[in-house]
């Protein structure tokens, strides 16, 4: 009896520590967000004071972020209050199952589509055909089904699985999850790079690796969203999907280097990049899976934010390394930023409306407030971080030299990359 009480006490203590840590991190990031909002409003006020043409100041383009986000929030809360029922109309189990399936798949597809369009917008020098992107996406959708037999072999034939021990679980997260998933996501990229008329510049490796990851994430997100009764929509869109693209892009970058080397030593970069991606993937998952590590799962958030900068650096470098480089082609960061803020905000509001249909008005109201508190800063942060591109041949952004010891230089513009 005492043992059971002690076990319950330890579990409650662990949960309390977990809740307090997550709460503290959320408060810190929201304080940062509040400070940035204050700075933004201060900038707007100073801009108004300096403006000589008051009519020009009030144009939509100068306030589109405030108007868009504010409009979404007002519309969202109004729709919840005025259009949603107090109790979910999905009383019949068959109706609920049908709704969960259709909306779960549709939402997962919307998440992948938003990020796919964003990736395609970055391909400014030699844009890829949507038909080629769709082929890789479909191939990526097949890859999750390859994970099951490999995982079963590791679990049942090799007897290697999660058991609660920290070192065992960490190694399993790297090998049994990271290596397996990064391997299957690599396969569609290996298929498409055989066609040199398709993959013709360094960024194409990042693009197709990330698209393969989006196909994988589409299947995975569909499952998680349906199992969570839609409560996981924004977490999957902002965390898991971005993480999948980041890890796959590390492998894609290493494949690009190994292909460019055209030497027997090129395989070392492929293996090195694959191991780095698997380690990143395993480290990310470990703090979310292991019972003890969960107490410090805020480390996953910090690690995730760091990896987003890593991913941005790879994208910026490969874009500028294109042999089709044209100084007259511009990547307009403001348009990218607005695109992400618009659609990620729209997804957040849509998720609240879906929750309202599935669970009722009161739950939707609380969900929307909680999601704004938990993910509002992340939407702003990702939109800002993923729209800071500088187009200049062989440009190195701040902090990029840190990665040079891990990831070698990409080919120069003068090389006949992918020429037939």
For the segment 63-103, what is each residue's pLDDT rounded down to a tens digit? 788 888 889 999 999 999 999 888 888 888 888 899 999 99
Residue 332 belongs to some domain of the structure: yes
How far is it, in rounded angstroms, from Cα 192 to Cα 136?
Answer: 7
- Token pair in block for residue 271: 């293996």
pLDDT > 70 in the chain, percent: 80
Residue 414 belongs to some domain of the structure: no
pLDDT over 50 at 401, yes or no: no
Reference 181, options 271, 268, 251, 266; nearest CA is: 251
**What pLDDT, on a 0 to 100 scale, did the predictor assign at position 328?**
82
pLDDT over 90 at 233, yes or no: yes
| 377 DSSP assignment | H
Contacts of 351 (CB under 8 A, 6+ apart): 107, 230, 233, 234, 367, 371
Boundaries of domain holding 369:
64-403
Same domain? For 38 and 69 the reply is no
Instruction: Give ∠ CA 343-345-349 in degrees, rounded to 5.
Output: 115
Stated pTM of the model: 0.83
Same domain? For 246 and 378 the reply is yes
**What pLDDT, on a 0 to 100 scale, did the predictor assign at position 23?**
65
**What pLDDT, on a 0 to 100 scale, did the predictor assign at position 65?**
82
**What pLDDT, on a 0 to 100 scale, did the predictor assign at position 67?**
85
Same domain? For 17 and 89 the reply is no
pLDDT tens profile 123-163: 999 899 999 999 999 999 999 999 999 999 998 988 888 88
Same domain? For 4 and 98 the reply is no
Band of the pLDDT at 164, cuts 50, 70, 90? confident
Q: How many domains would you assign to the chain?
A: 2
Same domain? For 19 and 142 the reply is no
Contact 364, 322 (CB under 8 A): no
**What pLDDT, on a 0 to 100 scale, did the predictor assign at position 26?**
65
Residue 78 belongs to some domain of the structure: yes
Reference 411, options 206, 201, 265, 267; nearest CA is: 201
Residue 143 belongs to some domain of the structure: yes
């Amino acid at each position: 009896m005492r043992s059971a009480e002690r076990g319950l006490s330890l579990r409650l203590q662990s949960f309390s520590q977990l809740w307090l840590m997550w709460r503290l991190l959320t408060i810190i990031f929201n304080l940062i967000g509040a400070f940035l909002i204050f700075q933004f409003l201060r900038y707007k006020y100073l801009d108004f004071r300096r403006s000589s043409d008051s009519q020009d100041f009030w144009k939509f383009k100068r306030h589109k972020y405030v108007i868009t986000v504010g409009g979404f929030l007002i519309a969202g809360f109004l729709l919840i209050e005025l259009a949603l029922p107090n109790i979910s109309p999905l009383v019949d189990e068959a109706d609920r199952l049908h709704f969960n399936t259709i909306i779960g798949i549709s939402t997962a597809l919307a998440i992948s589509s938003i990020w796919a369009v964003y990736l395609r917008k970055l391909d400014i020098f030699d844009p890829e055909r949507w038909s080629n992107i769709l082929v890789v996406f479909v191939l990526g959708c097949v890859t999750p089904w390859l994970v099951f037999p490999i995982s079963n072999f590791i679990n049942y034939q090799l007897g290697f699985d999660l058991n609660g021990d920290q070192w065992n679980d960490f190694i399993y997260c790297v090998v049994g999850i990271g290596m397996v998933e990064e391997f299957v996501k690599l396969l569609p990229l290996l298929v498409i790079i055989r066609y040199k008329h398709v993959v013709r510049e360094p960024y194409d490796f990042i693009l197709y690796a990330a698209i393969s990851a989006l196909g994988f994430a589409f299947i995975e997100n569909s499952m998680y969203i349906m199992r969570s009764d839609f409560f996981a929509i924004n977490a999957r869109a902002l965390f898991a999907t971005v993480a999948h693209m980041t890890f796959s892009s590390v492998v894609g970058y290493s494949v690009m280097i190994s292909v460019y080397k055209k030497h027997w030593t090129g395989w070392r970069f492929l293996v090195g990049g694959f191991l780095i991606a698997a380690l990143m993937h395993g480290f990310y998952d470990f703090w979310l899976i292991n019972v003890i590590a969960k107490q410090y799962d805020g480390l996953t958030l910090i690690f995730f934010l760091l990896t987003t900068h890593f991913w941005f650096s790879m994208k910026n470098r490969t874009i500028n390394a294109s042999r089709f480089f044209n100084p007259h082609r511009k990547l307009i960061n403001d348009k990218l930023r607005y695109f992400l803020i618009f659609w990620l905000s729209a997804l957040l509001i849509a998720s609240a409306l879906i929750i309202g249909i599935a669970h009722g008005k009161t739950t939707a109201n609380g969900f929307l407030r909680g999601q704004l508190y938990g993910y509002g800063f992340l939407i702003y942060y990702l939109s800002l971080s993923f729209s800071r591109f500088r187009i200049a041949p062989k440009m190195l952004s701040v902090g990029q030299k840190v990665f040079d010891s891990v990831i070698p230089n990409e080919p120069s513009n003068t090389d006949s990359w992918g020429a037939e």
